[in-house]
Amino acid sequence: MRVVVPLAALLLGTTVEPLALKRRGGLTKSKKKKKLKKAPPPAPVARAPRAPLSWSLSPEEHMAAVSNAVASAADGIQTALADGNFFAKESFLDERSVQAMAEEARRLDPTLVPSQSTRYEAGNTIAYDKEGVRSTQILGGNDYDKAPRLTEYVVSLTAALSGVAGQVRPLSPSRQTNKLAVCDAIGASYPKHIDNGGGDDPRLLTAILYLSGDVDGGRFRSYQATEDVVTAEVAPAPGTFVCFWSDRLVHDVSAVTRLDEARWALTVWLCTDDDVVEATPDEVLAAHWPHLRDS
């Protein structure tokens, strides 16, 4: 008769006796168990490197996301710029696009150099390094493969934003310059300035997209044109977008007071083909940089 061993017993560890083996001459002796040779432990499986986030987006998807972001904000952008104000929006761009661009930016980190700015002293333009800030330019062309999503953003933003903001002041649909910058030091800041003080500089519209970072401080701050008074502040949260006239808005960036993750931002300056860039008015110089007015 077949004996059935309940499954519950097997799960509880009940042993099943080996069957008695018949041999000529009688029953009973069970064969000695052979010691099995253990298989060697499996070799550790190397993890495949994670695919870049940019691979999850086609160029067409990414550029369409940028164009759609501008289109959805068009009314707000035009209203702010027509009023001489700045436009700001959190979560401006699809999160996948922002994260893919931030990953590319971090891969470019070894190529960055100390970021420079200019100030005016006694009528002369003086270049200086910004403490705690490094930067590079997204060039495209032969360098496209180094940062495809960043390059596509610059191209798509220039085309889309020039069409929207160009309804207020004339902008080229293709001319731009840009700067990818990382702030990686506590205390880093941008002093109060206007991006374009006039002359032969064709930059007319400044557009900033914050890509990543975990900081306190480092806030974009705008000022009244003829008073040393802050009118608004914008925190540099990833995905936040800011744009304003390069030759009009007085602004600065407050000092970083906590930095758990470096802050990355991509600034694109849209240019004009027309002679419309304004020199900084005397009353603005008097309010913010009186020594420049007298130099």
The pLDDT confidence band at residue 291, using thresholds 50, 70 and 90, is confident
User: Does pLDDT of 171 surpass 60?
Assistant: yes
The pLDDT confidence band at residue 3, using thresholds 50, 70 and 90, is very low
pLDDT tens per residue across span 18-48: 333 333 333 334 445 444 444 455 566 556 5
Q: Which of 74-88, 204-218, 259-273, 276-290 has the lowest mean pLDDT?
A: 276-290
Contact 219, 183 (CB under 8 A): no
Q: Which of 222, 206, 223, 213 is nearest to 157 (CA)?
A: 206
pLDDT tens per residue across span 55-95: 688 999 999 999 999 999 999 999 999 999 999 999 999 99
184 contacts: CB under 8 Å, gap ≥ 6: 132, 133, 134, 259, 262, 263
The pLDDT confidence band at residue 271, using thresholds 50, 70 and 90, is very high
Which superfamily is assigned to 57-293 in CATH?
Answer: q2cbj1_9rhob like domain (2.60.120.620)
Contact 215, 236 (CB under 8 A): yes
pLDDT at residue 32 in the model: 52
